[in-house]
Each structure stands twice: as structure tokens, then as C-alpha cells.
Amino acid sequence: MEFLTIQNNQRVDISSIPVLQYEDFSSFIIDLINDNDNHCVNYYGYQDNNQIKLICCIANDTQHVIYVTSSIVDKNSELNSISKKHLSFEKFEREIHENFGINFIGHPWLKPVRYAFNRADKTKTIANYPFYTIESEELHQVGVGPIHAGVIEPGHFRFICNGEQILHLEIQLGYQHRGIEELFLQKKELIQRATLAENIAGDTVVGHSVAFANAWESLCDYTPSEALQFDRALALEHERIAIHTGDLSAICADIAYQLGNSVLGRLRTPVINYFQQWCGNRLAKSLIRPFKTNFPYNEYLSEKWFEVFDAFLPDFNEICEQIFDLPSALSRLEKTGVVKTEVAAEIGMVGVAARASNFNRDIRFSHPFGYYKNESFNSIMGKNGDVYSRSKIRMDEANQSISFIKEMLKKIPNHEIQEGEIINEPKPNSFVVSLVEGWRGEICHCAITDEKGELKHYKIKDPSFHNWLALALSVRNEGISDFPVCNKSFNLSYCGHDL
Amino acid sequence: MFNNFKILYHQGKQFIPDVTTVEVPGIFRGRPIISTESVDVKKLQSVCPTKAIGENPVSIDMGKCTFCGACSIAFPTKIKFTKDYKTASNERENLIVYEGVETPIKFDPNKTRKEIHSLFKNSLKLRQISAAGDNSCEWELNAAGNVNFDMGRFGVEFVASPRHADGIVITGPISENMAEPLKICYDATPSPKVIILAGTDAISGGIFNESPALNRNFLNNYKIDLYLPGNPTHPLTIINGILGLIGKK
């Protein structure tokens, strides 16, 4: 057998994952990815007895299963690159190269990913990143960052321009690296790990903390109650509404539509304040915990939710309709920053940006967990993959999430039933994949325990990991002044990428 | 154009008239109060993710606290979080709340450098530096300037260039990879300049405090003018803290 078939959040024995010779491993993966239903949700390595164990998780979206396979290789070994056949692996291979010094032959360019503190080659530093350059007297370079003009996270953008036109953009990240995967092992208390999970990316608190809670509970063979599953799905959809509203506001700012910026900015306030009413934090930190909730949902909160959205919806739809009907706004949004469906597929885009390119990647639909298992869920798809599509889909998804929550609130499960006995002891020698559709897209956490049931390795993948390349490709041949609105239309995470 | 007017009219008044007295809706975990009741302190300390609880006397360091409320849920009669969002101070030690003390957080204007009051009272332009911040404090700093909180009414704004700034606001635990850009940005800001730390991660490292990927040396070399606790720090904490710093209240 070349692979193990599992489902989202299914704990398996680590020894049940087949270990293949690298050549078989890579050709097997290449064959799998040739099928359009399959995509790689995580491919990473970790140190195992002085060797490197590579684990690859390929999700099949129509069968709703995940194929897991592995290989053991030496540090500093030379392996044939998978990226040569499937470009969507280029970032994964770069990460493995950076961490362990493994050389992938045929990879386009094994550039550093994030300059992790435990990288293999410490002589490579963030100040000496090897940018792509073109020698020509007619071209010029524009460097932006790491510190940007607005109040946002750091990252460096290097443009090669012909006049005002962008020929090439390279995005260099790593400034945000906090060693978070290592901290998951260092910090032993569950509350510490839950806190780490909600600080992976402060704009995706619910997404990442649900991914962690699901992974941890699966390791402990614990099935969360209906009430917990309800709370998590509700929080995920509510987070989606909040951020999509804020993103639309930011997109308006970048096309200089002040009214849209202000109205949508103020409309976001009651949505995030609702999280505060629920759990005491506007970004939902402290809301999601494994095994339990400190803030059980109730009728009063449900009434408040309807109050908030009865006021929100007419104003939200009024301003959105205006934006998508305004010639001066449309001229900035339409046909700007296009990512074609074929490109999205080739580079392995995920989430809302992929769907805007008419490329369906949606974990709620393809690998549902908890509450989503019982709901029929249809992803909203965009058409053209331009800034317009990425904006319009945000309006539509916000509306979809609002309807979804309205349906949910018709039947609130009883939160007073005592949770089953909680045994906070992860099973030994286990492996689990936890997939969640955050507002940005597919979040993947993979956990491995040792023979004592201690966490041995924790791997986090934010949707931004794939989508940063999409942003870089989308701005080619655009005017450099359109970069900000393209960037906002993706709104990718720096800290989620840098970890 | 008429549509735009209609939309404008539909907004009504959105700004908070008085950001120094308004009450926060719903649950808010602001300044904690600790009763003098005797409890199992070791057990109390064990529920805290960031070791923010001290003993003899029992205390909570808001510079380390993530305001998750776990301690007040485990020991509801010992610890309560009030809705007081004025948790900022110009001195690090004032962020520590001791048992039996229920007074507001101390903010001694005499401890603020004189030139800050005289120069920045009516206009303070800040350059924000996210040094491995998780984008939550950055969010709230942006929100402080939106139409609801409208920090701009006090002449406080964020600017694009350090050359135009009167000081810097640092968020995040300061990664090794951001240590140099942070120093360059600080050096590019003209003197006199203020340094503000926003959020638990910036003040103490927060949940990241023992990470080998951080480099917090910058903080040892300069005087910090204002600490804004929170995870993330609330816009009302930000605005009231800054008003305290520039001597406007």
C-alpha cells in the first residue's frame, strides 16, 4: 500500500502511514496530483532519529478523504523535485530545504521562505535575500518595506518596473517569524497552546483556534458535543462576515472611494463588538477552547445577533450595491489583477481568492467537520479572478454567512448538558490532520505525538502560504499604482505565513 | 451622487461623543480587581497562560496578561475584571495590580518628559512598527482612527514616514528578523520622539516571551513613554492612554 486514507480530524497511528522510498514517494505524489480532484494540503518534514521524515497529505475533494504517505531521507540529501512537475509544491520544497538543507534537484529556485531561527544554514540572513534581477537600463526597481506606509504587518515587496508598468514582483517574507511551531512543543499547558493558536494570526483567531481545538480533541479521541460544534461554526461564519466587511472597506480606501471606506469601516464595528458581547474580546480571543467553552451560546446572544444584523444588512447591501454600480469604482476593480483559473490551479491557490478565480477550494464543502457535516453547503464562485471578483465575492459570502447563521439560530443546541468526561491525554504515537475553512481559506494543522503521548511535532499552514505567489503574479503588467488595491483584494497574512 | 447623499444620511451619527467616559458594550475585561480572600495561589497561577499572576501579595501584571479571563472563571470571588479600559500607564510597574487595591491605574504626568506635553499636546503624529505583531493590535490601532472612535479629533494620527513622525508605536514581541528594521525606523524619526508599546506581546513578549526567535534588546536601550495593555489593546485604551501621555486630560 502506498498511502493511508483518512478523513479530516481522524486520529491514526503514525506507524500506519506507509514509508516509501523517496523515488516512489515522489512519483506517487506526482501521479495523484495529475488528478484535478486532488490537491496537497500539507507537505513537510520533521526530524526523526537524525533523519528527516517527510509527510505529504493530499486531499481528494470529491471523495472527501485525505491520502497520507511518507518517506525517510537523510539531511542534506539530494532529491528529485516534485515542483518540476507540479509548481504548487514549490513553497513546500523551499520550506523543507530551508529547515533541513535538503536539496531538490530541478526546483526553480530554492529561496529562503521565512528565515526561521532553527534554519539549516544560518549564514543566510534576511538582510541578504537573493532577489531576482534583470539587467537593463530601461528598467528600474522599486523596493517597499519591510515597514509599510499604513498600520500593517511587515514584508518586503520588490518590483521590477518598465516605467509605471510592473514586469515582476517578488515578495520577501519572514520578518514576522516568532518560532510558533517550536513554542507549541515548548509550552506544555493546554491553555498556553490554545493561546498560541489564537495568536498565530490575530485576524483569523477563530479559524486557527478551531483548527487547534479539533486537532487536539482528535488526538485525545474526544468528540466535541453538538453545542461546541455549533459555537465553532457560528464563530467561523461570524468572523468571515466581520473580515469581509473590513476588507471591502479597505478596498474602497485604495480606490479613493471615501464614503465606502467610512461606511463599511463603521459597519464592521458592531460585528466585531458582537464577539465582545459573546466572549469579551473584539477579535474572539479566548472564545474557542478544546473540550469546553467558557462562553456558552444562549438565547440572549441570539436575540442580540438579530438586533445587530437587522441594522447591519440594509446599510451593508446599500453601500455594496452602490460600489458595484459606480463607474469610477468599477473602472478600478474590473480586469485589474487577474489570476486565471489555470494559474490558480497550477500554483495551488486556496480559499476566497481561489473561488474568485472560479477555482473551487472550500473545506466546508469538501472536507466538512463538526456542524458543517450536517449542512448542505454550496460555495460561491467568482468568474474572472480580478479585483472585482475578489471584492464581489466578499459581499456575497458575507450575505451567505448571515443566512447560514440565521438558519443555525433557529435551533440552538442545549448548552447546559455537561460535557462528557474530559481526559486531556493525547494518545501516543498518533497523527492527525485538522482542516478548517477560515475566512481567508484552507487552514491545515498537523500534529504528531511521541510514545508518551507528548506533542512531538506541530505543523501549521495558513492559506496565505499558497496565495502570496498569486498576488505576485496578479500584478504583472499592471500599473504600479494598482498594486495596493490588488494587495487588499487578497488581504494575506504575514504572521500566518512567517509563523 | 444622490445615492451617495442618501447613504450618508442613512448612517446617522456614528462617532462616540466622549471617548473618555463611554461604556463598552457587553463583556469587557479591563482593569482587574483582586480580593483579599485567601485561595490556593499555586492553583490560581497554573491557570494563567503567560505567568502574569504573582504572589505575596497576589498580583496581576497587565503587561503580561492576555485578558483571557481564565483566572476569573476559575476563581470568580478572587479575581474580577472590571469594565475600566483606562489601563495604560507611563510606568511599567503601574501595570501591576495588587490584591485589595481598587484604585484606577496610576498615570503620573510628572513622570512624562516635559517636552512631550509642551510639543505634542495638540498634534501627535505616530509611525507604527509591527515587529512580529499578529495583526490584532494593528487592527485596533487602525480602528482607533475610524469614524466611531475618531482619534483624529485630538490631533493624533498615524503617518507613513518616520521622518514625519513624533514617535513610534511598537506592536508584537519583536522578532529577530524585525530587530534591525525597527532600529532603523526609530533612528529615522526626528527628536524629541516618543516610544509607545501597544499590546501584551510588545510589553512583555506575551505568550511568545521565551521564544528563541525574538530579539527584544531594543527595549533595554530606550525609555518607553507609554504602555498600552491588552491582547489586543482596545481602541478606548489606546486613545485614553495617548491623551494621558500628551497631557490632554
Q: Tens digit of pLDDT for each residue in A280-292?
A: 999 999 999 999 8
pLDDT of residue B241: 94
∠ Cα A26 A27 A32 (to 5°):
100
**Beta strands B79-81 and A51-60, pairing class:** unpaired
| Contact across the interface for A191 and B48, Cβ inside 8 Å | yes
pLDDT of residue A430 exceeding 90: yes
CB contact, 8 Å: A183 with chain B?
yes
What would the mean pLDDT of A455-469 be, rounded to a whole number?
95
C-alpha–C-alpha distance, residues B20 and B30, integer Å: 14
Per-domain residue ranges of chain B: 32-98, 109-245
> Which candidate from B26, B131, B161 shows the least CB-CB separation from A276?
B26
Interface size between A and B, measured as CB pairs under 8 A: 200
Q: Render A209-235 in DSSP notation, one character per residue.
A: HHHHHHHHHHHTT-PPPHHHHHHHHHH
- Beta-carbon contacts of A403 under 8 Å, excluding residues fewer than 6 positions away, are none
- Rounded to 5 degrees, φ, ψ at A495 are -70, -35
pLDDT of residue A375: 77
Digit-coded pLDDT (tens) for B153-200: 999 999 999 999 999 999 999 999 999 999 999 999 998 999 999 999
Q: Are B48 and B76 in contact (CB under 8 A)?
A: no
CB contact, 8 Å: A263 with chain B?
yes
**Strand, coil or helix: what is A389?**
helix
> Which candidate from B3, B139, B231 shows the least CB-CB separation from A322?
B3
CB contact, 8 Å: A412 with chain B?
no
Torsion over CA: B144, B145, B146, B152 (sign): positive
**Nearest C-alpha in A relative to B81:** A280
Looking from the CA of A468 toward its CB, the CA atoms found within 13 Å total 23
Q: What is the DSSP letter of A433?
A: E
Residues on chain B touching A263 (C-beta within 8 angstroms): 7, 11
Residues on chain B touching A288 (C-beta within 8 angstroms): none
What would the mean pLDDT of A181-194 be, rounded to a whole number?
94
What would the mean pLDDT of A367-396 be, rounded to a whole number?
90
**ipTM for the complex shown:** 0.93
Residue A446: all three cell numbers together: 498537523
pLDDT of residue B52: 94
For chain A, give the mean pLDDT: 93
- Beta-carbon contacts of B230 under 8 Å, excluding residues fewer than 6 positions away, are B67, B87, B137, B140, B198, B199, B200, B237
Q: Is the pTM of this model over 0.90?
A: yes
C-alpha–C-alpha distance, residues A107 and A81, integer Å: 5
- Rounded to 5 degrees, φ, ψ at A40 are -85, 120
pLDDT of residue B110: 87
**Nearest C-alpha in A relative to B28:** A280
pLDDT of residue A418 exceeding 70: no
pLDDT of residue A2: 85
What would the mean pLDDT of A338-355 be, rounded to a whole number?
94
Q: Are A57 and A42 in contact (CB under 8 A)?
A: yes
| Contact across the interface for A495 and B133, Cβ inside 8 Å | yes
Digit-coded pLDDT (tens) for A123-160: 999 988 999 998 888 999 999 989 988 899 999 999 99
C-alpha–C-alpha distance, residues B136 and B207, integer Å: 14
| Contact across the interface for B26 and A278, Cβ inside 8 Å | yes
* Best to test chain A binding among B16, B135, B148 (most A CBs inside 10 Å): B135
pLDDT of residue A342: 94
Digit-coded pLDDT (tens) for A218-236: 999 998 889 999 999 999 9
Residues A191-460, CATH architecture: Orthogonal Bundle (1.10)
pLDDT above 90 as % of chain A:
85
> Which candidate from A259, A277, A319 shows the least CB-CB separation from B27?
A277
| Contact across the interface for A281 and B67, Cβ inside 8 Å | yes
The residue assigned the cell 490556593 is: B40
Least Cα separation, residue B44 to chain A (angstroms): 13
* Best to test chain B binding among A117, A264, A281, A497 (most B CBs inside 10 Å): A281
Cis before A327? omega within 30? no
State in words which class domain B109-245 has. Answer: alpha beta
The residue assigned the cell 529562503 is: A112
Q: pLDDT class for A420, splitting at 50, 70, 90?
A: low
Q: Are B202 and B229 in contact (CB under 8 A)?
A: no
Q: What is the DSSP letter of B146?
A: S
Q: Which residues of chain B have pLDDT under 70?
A: none
Q: Which of residues 200-219 of A touch B (CB under 8 A)?
A: 200-203, 205
Residues on chain A touching B67 (C-beta within 8 angstroms): 280-281, 286
CATH of domain B32-98: 3.30.70.3270
What is the signed CA dihedral for A251, A257, A259, A260, rounded to 10 degrees?
Answer: -30
Lowest mean pLDDT among A335-349, A407-421, A468-482: A407-421
In order of A260, A391, A441, the CA distances from A321 in angstroms are 11, 12, 25
- Rounded to 5 degrees, φ, ψ at B80 are -130, 140
Q: pLDDT class for A370, splitting at 50, 70, 90?
A: confident
Residues on chain A touching B51 (C-beta within 8 angstroms): none
| Contact across the interface for B135 and A494, Cβ inside 8 Å | yes
| Contact across the interface for A178 and B210, Cβ inside 8 Å | no
C-alpha–C-alpha distance, residues A69 and A14, integer Å: 10
Per-domain residue ranges of chain A: 4-96, 191-460
| Contact across the interface for B68 and A495, Cβ inside 8 Å | no
| Contact across the interface for B206 and A186, Cβ inside 8 Å | no
| Contact across the interface for B7 and A322, Cβ inside 8 Å | yes
| Contact across the interface for A315 and B148, Cβ inside 8 Å | no
Residues on chain A touching B158 (C-beta within 8 angstroms): 150-151
CATH of domain A4-96: 3.30.460.80
C-alpha–C-alpha distance, residues A230 and A240, integer Å: 16
Cis before A368? omega within 30? no
Q: Give the residue among B70, B74, B38 at the shortest CA–CA distance from B52.
A: B70
Kindly tell me the burial class for residue A465, based on how many C-beta atoms sit within 10 Å of its own C-beta (0-12, 13-18, 19 or more): buried
Catalogue the E-assigned strands of A74-146.
Answer: 78-80, 103-105, 140-144
In order of A232, A291, A446, B69, B113, the CA distances from A432 in angstroms are 19, 17, 6, 30, 55
Q: Are A87 and A346 in contact (CB under 8 A)?
A: yes
Instruction: Name the amino acid, one letter, at A338.
Output: V
Residue B46: all three cell numbers together: 497554573
Residues on chain A touching B234 (C-beta within 8 angstroms): 282
Taking the alpha carbons at both ends of chain B, their separation in whole angstroms is 41
pLDDT of residue A419: 62
pLDDT of residue A273: 93
| Contact across the interface for B148 and A153, Cβ inside 8 Å | no
Q: Are A353 and A493 in contact (CB under 8 A)?
A: no
Residues on chain A touching B142 (C-beta within 8 angstroms): 150-151
C-alpha–C-alpha distance, residues B126 and B124, integer Å: 6
Q: Which of residues 124-163 of A touch B (CB under 8 A)?
A: 126-127, 146-147, 149-154
Q: Please, what's the b/e burial string for B74-84 (b: 16 or more CB within 10 A of its CB; e: otherwise)?
A: bbeebbbbeeb
Instruction: Name the amino acid, one letter, at A302.
Output: S
* Best to test chain B binding among A124, A126, A129, A147 (most B CBs inside 10 Å): A147
What is the signed CA dihedral for A283, A115, B222, B152, rounded to 10 degrees?
Answer: -40
> Which candidate from B27, B47, B208 shows the least CB-CB separation from A280?
B27
pLDDT of residue A150: 87
The residue assigned the cell 440572549 is: A300
Q: Give the residue among A285, A162, A218 at the shortest CA–CA distance from B136.
A: A285
**Nearest C-alpha in A relative to B214:** A178
pLDDT of residue A101 exceeding 80: yes
| Contact across the interface for B141 and A196, Cβ inside 8 Å | no
**Beta strands B226-228 and B194-198, pairing class:** parallel
CB contact, 8 Å: A191 with chain B?
yes
Q: Give the residue among A456, A473, A460, A464 at the shortest CA–CA distance from A493.
A: A464
pLDDT of residue A58: 95
Q: Render A192-205 in DSSP notation, one character per residue.
A: HHHHHHHTS-TT-H
Residue B111: all three cell numbers together: 513622570
Looking from the CA of B160 toward its CB, the CA atoms found within 13 Å total 3
pLDDT of residue A376 exceeding 80: no
- Rounded to 5 degrees, φ, ψ at B124 are -130, 115
